[in-house]
C-alpha cells in the first residue's frame, strides 16, 4: 500500500487513488495530421522502464484532482510529486540496489 | 490431577489456579499461564499428532510460533480451527483439542502404513507416482491423497466469532518486545515520538521470559517490568501484546493480527471481537523479531521427545514443565549448554551433552563438570530408540575429519527426551518481506539483514546479535535514531544497562549428521522439514534429478511450503544442498519470504466486511416500494435494481412477458434513478462536450436532448447516454449505471490534463435525482393527470426536455425512449422521489399501470436493437461496428476517437458488426455468449457433444444478447458477426453441446423499425 502525497490534500493511502499510467504522453495537438505510426505509438506504446517512471494519478476518492509523480518501478519509492503542467528535472535514480536482484 | 513432569517450583504459571482441558477426549489439568504444549508436557504427553505424508508419530518440537509438528484441531462446530500450533495456544478452562492427520486415533493410525510405502512418497511424488493412468487421478489417487494428507479439517459451520479492524499511524513502530525491542521502544518514546510496540506473546520480555540472565545486577524480568511501567505511563506509547506483525509492505505499511479473546474460555464467543487486524503506517520501523533455533538433521530426529534445546529450557524455566526425566542434549554450538544446565537444576537427569565440536566455549565444560553432566566431544547421535516416545539415543564419536566414526559400535544412552540445537536463524522474515537484502554470515551460520530497502533497522537476535548486551545497546541506538529520523531528536543519550554477557561461541556447520548408513539407505529418516515431511534423502534425490536452483528444489520437494514456511528447515535444506553442490550457501541464495509471517484466520482479514456488509449496497429512494411489491433484485455495480416483479406463483418468464406487454400495450414504470448523472457547467461546456462525444452539440437547442456515444482514443465505445442542454452553458448528462464513476474520472482527466484552459465544471448528481421512466401508449395520459405542462406531440416532441411541476413537485421531464414506446422520464429531487412514484401509480391505476424491472427493459430494448454498453460492446467495438456511424461527426475537426477511425484496423470491412439473429426454430432461445460459425455438415459439429470432437472451424462471431420476445412471439438475438452488415439474409449456425442451432442474420431492429411509436 503506497503512501501518496496528494499535492492538494497531503499524504493518503493508495486506495484513495487511481493510476492513469505513464505521464507526459501528450495527446497529439492535431490528431488528423498525425501519421499512423505516430498515432499508434501514442495509443499503444509505453516505456515500461525498470527504474524511475513518471506516472499520472488521480485522487479519485478525495479531491478528484489529477497530478503526476515519479516512482521507482523497482522499489516503489516515490521521488517526486508535482502538479499537472509542471515538468521538473528528472531525479537521479536513487533506487536502492537492494531491490535490483530480487527473487521472483 | 497429577502432573508428573511438573517441576517443584518456579516458572511464570499460577500453581494455585488449575485449568482443566481435554486432548483427544481425555481430561488433563494444567495451570493458568500454561500453553497447550507446556500443559501436555507437564502431563508427560509428547505424542500429539501424525505427520503429513508418512503419518509418523510426532511430538512437540519448539516453544514458539515456528512449531512445525504439534498441530492440533481446536474446539468443534462454529468455533473449530485447524492447524493450531500447540506451543502458542494459551490454556483456558475447558479447552478441547484433538490430533490431526490421525485415523482412527493418534495411537493407532492406519495411515502409518504410508511410512512403509515411503518409496512412493519421495520428492516429487505428486508428479511421479500418480501420473498414470490419467483416469486414475480423479477417482483413485486424489481422494486417497486428500484423506491421507489432510492438514486438519476445515470448518463446515459459520464462524460464531466476530472480528474487526483498526488503522493506526505512528512515528516509530517496534516489532518485538524482547530486550532489543524494549530498549528501542524506550529510547524512541523518551524522545517524544509516538511509538507502537508489538509483541506476539502474552507478556513482554521475549527470550528473557525463558532465561536466567541479569541486567544491571538484577533479574532481567525486573528490568522488563520497569521499562513496561515507563512505557505504559507514556500517553504517546501503545503496547499491543498477543499481536503478530504478519506482513510488511511498501512505504512502511504493516499488518498485524491481534488475538483478543483466544486465551479466554470460548463461552464469550461472538460478544467481543475475537481478533483484530491492525493496519499500521509507520514513519520508521525497528525490527526486533528475535531468532529461531534450528534442529539438527540426524537419523530419526522426528521421534516424539526430540525437541529444540531452547524450547526444553523455556518449558522448564518459564512453564515449570520438564520435557523428560532423562534428557540427552545434542548440539553444534554453545547455546544448548544453558539448556542442559537449567534442565539439570530443574530436576532432570542429563546423561550427556553430545557436542559435534571438538571443543565447547570457555567455561562451559567446568560448569558441566560442577553439575555432574558428562560431555561427549566430537560426538553424534546416530539413531533414536523408541517409536511413540524417545527411549534412548545411539551415540558415536566422530573421527577428526569427515563423516567417519572413531567408534565401531554406537553406545546407547537411555533417555526419554533429546534436546537439540543446530544453531540459530534470525527471524528475518519481515525484513525480507520489506525487500531488504540478506547476507549469509558464515561464522554464525545464518542469514542476517544486509541492505534495508525501507526506513527501518533490525536489532538484536534478528540482526544476528545473539548476546544480551549487544541486543540492549543496538535497541537503544536504533530507537533513538528512528525517533530522530521521524523528527524527534533525543534530549539525552540513554545509558545502556549492563548485562551479564555470555559469549555465543563458535558453531560447527553440520547440515546432516553422519549416521550408520548413508542418507537414503536403510529405514532411518533424517527430517529437514517436519511439517511437510521432507527428509535429507528427498533433497538428495532432487539434487540427483537435476534440481539445483533453490526455488526449484523448494517446489519439487515442497520443502518450506507448509504453513510454517520452513522457519526451522530452510537453512538446513540450503546447507545440505550446498554440500551436495559443492558450493557455498551465499551462492545458492535463499527462497523468498512472503506474508503472512504466521497464519492469519480468514475472519481477521475479513473483519466486519462479511454478510450484508461485504460490499456496500446502493438503494434508490423507491427501494422499499420495490421490496413491498415483491421485486427480485439484480446487482448493477453496487446498485440493487428491481429485476422483475413476480406475482404469487408466477414464473420469471411469465412476469417478464406480462411487464413487456404492459409497456407495449398500455403503460409501465421503470425506476431509472441509478443511471449516472453529471452536471456540466461553464462557458466552454459546448467545446468540451464536442471534444469528448462523437456527435456535435453546437446546434443543440436549449430544451433538447440527444443520444450520444463516448469513445476512447482508440475509437472503441466506452459509454453511452443522453446529453441534454438545459441552459446556454449548462448540460445534464446521463451515463450507464455501472459506468458513472469511470466516466466522471475520465472527463476530469481530459479537463485537467489535456484542456485545462477550458472553463468547465463537472459535478456528479447521480444521487440527487429520482427518475421515473413512464413508458407505453398510455404514458402521456397518465402524466397529463399530474401536470399542467402540455405533453402533446407538437408542444413536447420526442427528445425534448422541460422543467415542469409534476404532482405538485418541481420536476424535469425528458421525452426519451429506451423501450421504443412513447416515454417520459420524470426526474425530481431524490427526497421527493417516493411521493412522485406513488402519484404516478395512483394516476395510472385506471390504465393498469405496471412496474417493470431491468429484465423487461432489456427485452424491450433488444426488440428495438438498442445496445447495452458492456453487453453488445467489449472495448473492441466501434460505433461503426454497431451501425451507429451516423452518430460520428464528420464535420468536427477533432474529438476523442476520431483519429482512430482512419486506422487500417478500424477501417476494415470484415470487422465484427452488430446484427440480429433469428433462429430457424422460433422457440429456441440461443445462449448469450454462444460462438457462431459458418454452416457445416460435420455431424460432430451439428450433433453436439464432445465425442468425437469436431474438426476445428473458424469462429465468425458471438451472441451478445438473446431473449424470448413476448411482443414477437419468438426468440430474438443480437450478435457481433464478421462482416455481418453485408450478410443480412444469410444462414449461419451456433454449435452448442446439445447440437447446432441454425439462424438467419437480420438487421438488429426487430420491432417498429420506423420509430413511429416513440415519436407518436
Ligand atoms: Zn487530493
C-alpha B794/C-alpha B792 separation (Å) is 6
The residues on B that touch A, with CB distances below 8 Å, are 249-253, 279, 281, 435-437, 450-453, 551, 589, 591-592, 713-714, 741, 745, 748-749, 752-754, 756, 893-894, 898-900, 903-904
pLDDT tier at B95, thresholds 50, 70, 90: very high
Helix/strand/coil for A37? helix
In terms of domains, do B683 and B810 share one? yes
pLDDT score for A98? 38
Residue-number span of the structural domain to which B460 is assigned: 163-291+426-485
Nearest chain A CA: its distance from B939 CA (Å): 43
B110 or B154: which leads in pLDDT: B154
Q: Residue B404 pLDDT > 90, yes or no?
A: no
Nearest residue, CB atoms, B752 vs list A36, A66, A101: A66
- From B392-401, B721-730, B815-824, B851-860, the region with the lowest mean pLDDT: B392-401
Interchain pair A31, B898: CB under 8 A: yes
pLDDT score for B588? 87
In terms of domains, do B789 and B670 share one? yes
In terms of domains, do B751 and B778 share one? yes
Phi and psi dihedrals of B272, rounded to 5? -115, 145
Task: Please indicate, yes or no, if residue B862 is contained in any of the structural domains.
Answer: no
Q: Give me the number of domains chain B comprises.
A: 6
Of B421, B437, B469, which one is at a domain's C-terminal end?
B421
In terms of domains, do B285 and B348 share one? no
For residue B790 the three cell numbers come to 402540455
B432 or B2: which leads in pLDDT: B432
Inform me whether the C-beta atom of residue A76 falls under 8 Å from chain B C-beta atoms: yes
In terms of domains, do B470 and B535 share one? no
Q: Residue B130 pLDDT > 70, yes or no?
A: no
Nearest chain A CA: its distance from B253 CA (Å): 6
Q: Residue A102 pLDDT > 50, yes or no?
A: no
User: For chain A, what are the domain ranges?
Assistant: 3-26+39-85
C-alpha B639/C-alpha A52 separation (Å) is 40
Q: Does domain A3-26+39-85 have CATH number 3.30.2270.10?
A: yes
Nearest chain B CA: its distance from A10 CA (Å): 15
In terms of domains, do B816 and B782 share one? yes
Q: Residue B781 pLDDT > 50, yes or no?
A: yes
pLDDT score for B366? 96
**DSSP H or E stretch at residue B802:** strand B801-806
Interchain pair B745, A58: CB under 8 A: yes
Name A38's Cβ contacts closer than 8 Å, sequence gap at least 6.
Answer: A28
Inform me whether the C-beta atom of residue A94 falls under 8 Å from chain B C-beta atoms: no
Interchain pair B453, A96: CB under 8 A: yes
Of B125, B152, B182, which one is at a domain's C-terminal end?
B125
Task: Please indicate, yes or no, if residue B131 is contained in any of the structural domains.
Answer: no
The Å distance, Cα B764 to ligand 1 centre, comes to 17
| Of A26-30, B126-130, B152-156, highest mean pLDDT | A26-30
Q: Residue B134 pLDDT > 90, yes or no?
A: no
- From B63-72, B102-111, B234-243, B413-422, the region with the lowest mean pLDDT: B102-111
pLDDT score for B142? 57
The Å distance, Cα B622 to ligand 1 centre, comes to 34
Nearest chain B CA: its distance from A30 CA (Å): 8
C-alpha B135/C-alpha B740 separation (Å) is 50
Q: In the predicted model, what is the mean pLDDT of residues B765-788?
A: 98
Q: Do B90 and B64 contact (CB within 8 A), yes or no?
A: no
The per-residue pLDDT for range A42-94, each reduced to its tens digit, is 999 999 999 999 999 999 999 999 999 999 999 899 999 999 888 888 777 65
Across the A:B interface, residue pairs with CB atoms under 8 Å apart total 83
B-interface mutation test, from A98, A99, A100, A104, most B Cβ less than 10 A away: A98
C-alpha B863/C-alpha B884 separation (Å) is 17
pLDDT score for B136? 56
pLDDT score for B402? 66
Inform me whether the C-beta atom of residue A10 falls under 8 Å from chain B C-beta atoms: no
The per-residue pLDDT for range B674-704, each reduced to its tens digit, is 999 999 999 999 999 999 999 999 999 999 9
The per-residue pLDDT for range B201-231, each reduced to its tens digit, is 999 999 999 988 899 999 999 999 999 999 9
pLDDT tier at B132, thresholds 50, 70, 90: low
Phi and psi dihedrals of B352, rounded to 5? -170, 155
Task: Please indicate, yes or no, if residue B626 is contained in any of the structural domains.
Answer: no
The per-residue pLDDT for range B26-84, each reduced to its tens digit, is 999 999 999 999 999 999 999 998 888 888 899 999 999 999 999 999 999 889 999 99
pLDDT score for B8? 92
Task: Please indicate, yes or no, if residue B878 is contained in any of the structural domains.
Answer: no
Helix/strand/coil for B931? strand
Interchain pair A103, B551: CB under 8 A: yes
The per-residue pLDDT for range B503-522, each reduced to its tens digit, is 778 999 999 999 988 898 88
Name B939's Cβ contacts closer than 8 Å, sequence gap at least 6.
Answer: none
In terms of domains, do B532 and B553 share one? yes
Percent of chain B with pLDDT over 90: 83
Interchain pair A104, B898: CB under 8 A: no
Strands B291-293 and B424-426: antiparallel
Task: Sort out which chain A residues have CB atoms less than 8 A from B435's CB and list them.
Answer: 75, 98-99, 102
Task: Sort out which chain B residues have CB atoms less than 8 A from A26's CB and list them.
Answer: 754
Q: In the predicted model, what is the mean pLDDT of residues B775-786?
A: 98
In terms of domains, do B470 and B364 share one? no
For residue B88 the three cell numbers come to 502458542
**What CATH number should be reported for the domain holding residue B242?**
3.50.50.60
DSSP character for B744?
Answer: H
A-interface mutation test, from B165, B284, B453, most A Cβ less than 10 A away: B453
The Å distance, Cα B423 to ligand 1 centre, comes to 51
Give chain B's mean pLDDT. 93
Of residues B242, B238, B232, the one with CA closest to residue B202: B242
Strands B195-198 and B163-175: parallel
In terms of domains, do B446 and B542 share one? no
Q: Do B336 and B361 contact (CB within 8 A), yes or no?
A: no
Interchain pair A42, B753: CB under 8 A: no
Of B403, B421, B439, which one is at a domain's C-terminal end?
B421
B909 or B504: which leads in pLDDT: B909
pLDDT score for A103? 33
In terms of domains, do B282 and B336 share one? no
Q: Residue B122 pLDDT > 90, yes or no?
A: no
Q: B401-436 burial, b if ≥16 CB within 10 A, otherwise e?
A: eeeebeeeebeebebbbbbbbbbbbbbbbbbbbbbb
Task: Please indicate, yes or no, if residue B590 is contained in any of the structural domains.
Answer: yes
Name B191's Cβ contacts closer than 8 Å, sequence gap at least 6.
Answer: B480, B483, B484, B488, B489, B490, B491
> What is the number of H-type helices and E-type strands within chain B?
27, 49
In terms of domains, do B847 and B699 share one? yes
pLDDT score for B135? 56
B225 C-beta neighbours (distance < 10 Å), count? 14
In terms of domains, do B38 and B117 share one? yes
Q: What is the pTM of this model?
A: 0.89
pLDDT score for B32? 97
Of residues B931, B954, B957, the one with CA closest to residue B944: B931
**What CATH number should be reported for the domain holding residue B112?**
3.10.20.440
Q: Residue B185 pLDDT > 80, yes or no?
A: yes
B949 or B726: which leads in pLDDT: B726
Amino acid at each position: 500500500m503506497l503512501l501518496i502525497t496528494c499535492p492538494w490534500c497531503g499524504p493518503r493511502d493508495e486506495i484513495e487513488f487511481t493510476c492513469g499510467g505513464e505521464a507526459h504522453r501528450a495527446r497529439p495537438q492535431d490528431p488528423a495530421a498525425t501519421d499512423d505510426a505516430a498515432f499508434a505509438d501514442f495509443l499503444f506504446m509505453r516505456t515500461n522502464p525498470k527504474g524511475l517512471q513518471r506516472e499520472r494519478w488521480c485522487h479519485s476518492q478525495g479531491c478528484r484532482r489529477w497530478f503526476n509523480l515519479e516512482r521507482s518501478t523497482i522499489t516503489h519509492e516515490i521521488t517526486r510529486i508535482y502538479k499537472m503542467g509542471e515538468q521538473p528535472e528528472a531525479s537521479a535514480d536513487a533506487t536502492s540496489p537492494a531491490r535490483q536482484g530480487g527473487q521472483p | 490431577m497429577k502432573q508428573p513432569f511438573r517441576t517443584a517450583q518456579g516458572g511464570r504459571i499460577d500453581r494455585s489456579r488449575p485449568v482443566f482441558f481435554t486432548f483427544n477426549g481425555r481430561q488433563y489439568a494444567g495451570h493458568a499461564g500454561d500453553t497447550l504444549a507446556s500443559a501436555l508436557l507437564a502431563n508427560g504427553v509428547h505424542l500429539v499428532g501424525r505427520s503429513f505424508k508418512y503419518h509418523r508419530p510426532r511430538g512437540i518440537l519448539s516453544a514458539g510460533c515456528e512449531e512445525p509438528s504439534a498441530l492440533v484441531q481446536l474446539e468443534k462446530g462454529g468455533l473449530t480451527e485447524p492447524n493450531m500450533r500447540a506451543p502458542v495456544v494459551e490454556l483456558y478452562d475447558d479447552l478441547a483439542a484433538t490430533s490431526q492427520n490421525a485415523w482412527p486415533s493418534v495411537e493407532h493410525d492406519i495411515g502409518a502404513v504410508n511410512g512403509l510405502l515411503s518409496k512412493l512418497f519421495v520428492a516429487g511424488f505428486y508428479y511421479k507416482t500418480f501420473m498414470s493412468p490419467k483416469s486414475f487421478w480423479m477417482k483413485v489417487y486424489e481422494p486417497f491423497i486428500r484423506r491421507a494428507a489432510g492438514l486438519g479439517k476445515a470448518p463446515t459451520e459459520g464462524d460464531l466469532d466476530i472480528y474487526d479492524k483498526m488503522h493506526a499511524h505512528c512515528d516509530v513502530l517496534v516489532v518485538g518486545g524482547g530486550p532489543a525491542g524494549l530498549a528501542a521502544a524506550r529510547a524512541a518514546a523518551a524522545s517524544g515520538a509516538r511509538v507502537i510496540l508489538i509483541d506476539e506473546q502474552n507478556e513482554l520480555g521475549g527470550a528473557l521470559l525463558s532465561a536466567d540472565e541479569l541486567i544491571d545486577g538484577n533479574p532481567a524480568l525486573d528490568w522488563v517490568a520497569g521499562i513496561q511501567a515507563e512505557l505504559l505511563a507514556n500517553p504517546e506509547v501503545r503496547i499491543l501484546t498477543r499481536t503478530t506483525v504478519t506482513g510488511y509492505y511498501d512505504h512502511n505499511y504493516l499488518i498485524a493480527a491481534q488475538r483478543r479473546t483466544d486465551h479466554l474460555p470460548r463461552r464469550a464467543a461472538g460478544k467481543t471481537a475475537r481478533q483484530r487486524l491492525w493496519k499500521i503506517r509507520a514513519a520508521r520501523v525497528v525490527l526486533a523479531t528475535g531468532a529461531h533455533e534450528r534442529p539438527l538433521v540426524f537419523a530419526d530426529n522426528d521421534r516424539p521427545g526430540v525437541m529444540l534445546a531452547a524450547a526444553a529450557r523455556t518449558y522448564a524455566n518459564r512453564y515449570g514443565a520438564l520435557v523428560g526425566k532423562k534428557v540427552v542434549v545434542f548440539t553444534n554450538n554453545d547455546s544448548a549448554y544453558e539448556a542442559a544446565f537449567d534442565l539439570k537444576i530443574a530436576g532432570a537427569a542429563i546423561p550427556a551433552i553430545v557436542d559435534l565440536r571438538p571443543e565447547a566455549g570457555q567455561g562451559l565444560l567446568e560448569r558441566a563438570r560442577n553439575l555432574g553432566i558428562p560431555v561427549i566431544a566430537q560426538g553424534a547421535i546416530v539413531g533414536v530408540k523408541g517409536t511413540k516416545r524417545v527411549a534412548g539415543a545411539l551415540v558415536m564419536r566422530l573421527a577428526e575429519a569427515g563423516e567417519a566414526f572413531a567408534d565401531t559400535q554406537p553406545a546407547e544412552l537411555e533417555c526419554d527426551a533429546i534436546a537439540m540445537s543446530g544453531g540459530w536463524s534470525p527471524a528475518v522474515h519481515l525484513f525480507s518481506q520489506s525487500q531488504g537484502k540478506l547476507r549469509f554470515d558464515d561464522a554464525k551460520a545464518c542469514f542476517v539483514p544486509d541492505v534495508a530497502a525501507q526506513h527501518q533497522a533490525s536489532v538484536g537476535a534478528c540482526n544476528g546479535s545473539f548476546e544480551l548486551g549487544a541486543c540492549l545497546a543496538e535497541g537503544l541506538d536504533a530507537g533513538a535514531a528512528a525517533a530522530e529520523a521521524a523528527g524527534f531528536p533525543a534530549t539525552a543519550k540513554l545509558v545502556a544497562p549492563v548485562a551479564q554477557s555470555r559469549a555465543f561461541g563458535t558453531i560447527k556447520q553440520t547440515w546432516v549428521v553422519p549416521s550408520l548408513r548413508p542418507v537414503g539407505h536403510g529405514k532411518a529418516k533424517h527430517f529437514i522439514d517436519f511439517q511437510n515431511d521432507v527428509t535429507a534423502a528427498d533433497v538428495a534425490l532432487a539434487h540427483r534429478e537435476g534440481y539445483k536452483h533453490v526455488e526449484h528444489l523448494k517446489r519439487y520437494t515442497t520443502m518450506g511450503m507448509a504453513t510454517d514456511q520452513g522457519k526451522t528447515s530452510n537453512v538446513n535444506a540450503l546447507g545440505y544442498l550446498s554440500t551436495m553442490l559443492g558450493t557455498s550457501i551465499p551462492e545458492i541464495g535463499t527462497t523468498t519470504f512472503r506474508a503472512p509471517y504466521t497464519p492469519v484466520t480468514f475472519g481477521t482479514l475479513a473483519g466486519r466486511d462479511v454478510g450484508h456488509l461485504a460490499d456496500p449496497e446502493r438503494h434508490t429512494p423507491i427501494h422499499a416500494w420495490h421490496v413491498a411489491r415483491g421485486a427480485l433484485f439484480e446487482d448493477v455495480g453496487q446498485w440493487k435494481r428491481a429485476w422483475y416483479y413476480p406475482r404469487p406463483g408466477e414464473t420469471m418468464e411469465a412476469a417478464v412477458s406480462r411487464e413487456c406487454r404492459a409497456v407495449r400495450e398500455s403503460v409501465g414504470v421503470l425506476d431509472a434513478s441509478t443511471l449516472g448523472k453529471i452536471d456540466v457547467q461553464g462557458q466552454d461546456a459546448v467545446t468540451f462536450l464536442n471534444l469528448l462525444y462523437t456527435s456535435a452539440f453546437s446546434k443543440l437547442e436549449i430544451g433538447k436532448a440527444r443520444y450520444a456515444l463516448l469513445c476512447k482514443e482508440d475509437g472503441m465505445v466506452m459509454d453511452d447516454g443522453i446529453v441534454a442542454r438545459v441552459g446556454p452553458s449548462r448540460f445534464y448528462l446521463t451515463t450507464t449505471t455501472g459506468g458513472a464513476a469511470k466516466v466522471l474520472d475520465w472527463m476530469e482527466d481530459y479537463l485537467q490534463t489535456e484542456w485545462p484552459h477550458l472553463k468547465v465544471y463537472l459535478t456528479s448528481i447521480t444521487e440527487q435525482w429520482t427518475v421515473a421512466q413512464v413508458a407505453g401508449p398510455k404514458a402521456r395520459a397518465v402524466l397529463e393527470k399530474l401536470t399542467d405542462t402540455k405533453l402533446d406531440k407538437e408542444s413536447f416532441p420526442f427528445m425534448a426536455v422541460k422543467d415542469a411541476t409534476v404532482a405538485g413537485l418541481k420536476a424535469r421531464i425528458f421525452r426519451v425512449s429506451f423501450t421504443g414506446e412513447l416515454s417520459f422520464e420524470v426526474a425530481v429531487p431524490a427526497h421527493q422521489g417516493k411521493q412522485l412514484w406513488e402519484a404516478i401509480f395512483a394516476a395510472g391505476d385506471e390504465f393498469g399501470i405496471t412496474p417493470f424491472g431491468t429484465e423487461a427493459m432489456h427485452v424491450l430494448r433488444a426488440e428495438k436493437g438498442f445496445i447495452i454498453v458492456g453487453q453488445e460492446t467489449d472495448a473492441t467495438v466501434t460505433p461503426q461496428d454497431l451501425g451507429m456511424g451516423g452518430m460520428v461527426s464528420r464535420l468536427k475537426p477533432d474529438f476523442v476517437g476520431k483519429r482512430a477511425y482512419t486506422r487500417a484496423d478500424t477501417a476494415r470491412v470484415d470487422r465484427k458488426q452488430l446484427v440480429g439473429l433469428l433462429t430457424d426454430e422460433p422457440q429456441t432461445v440461443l445462449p448469450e455468449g454462444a460462438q457462431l460459425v459458418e454452416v457445416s455438415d460435420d455431424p460432430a459439429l451439428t450433433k453436439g457433444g464432445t465425442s468425437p470432437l469436431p474438426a476445428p472451424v473458424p469462429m465468425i462471431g458471438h451472441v451478445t444478447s438473446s431473449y424470448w420476445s413476448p411482443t414477437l412471439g419468438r426468440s430474438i438475438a443480437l450478435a457481433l458477426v464478421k462482416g455481418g452488415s453485408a450478410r443480412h439474409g444469410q444462414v449461419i449456425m451456433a454449435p452448442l453441446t446439445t447440437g447446432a442451432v441454425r439462424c438467419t442474420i437480420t438487421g438488429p431492429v426487430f420491432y417498429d423499425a420506423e420509430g413511429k411509436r416513440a415519436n407518436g
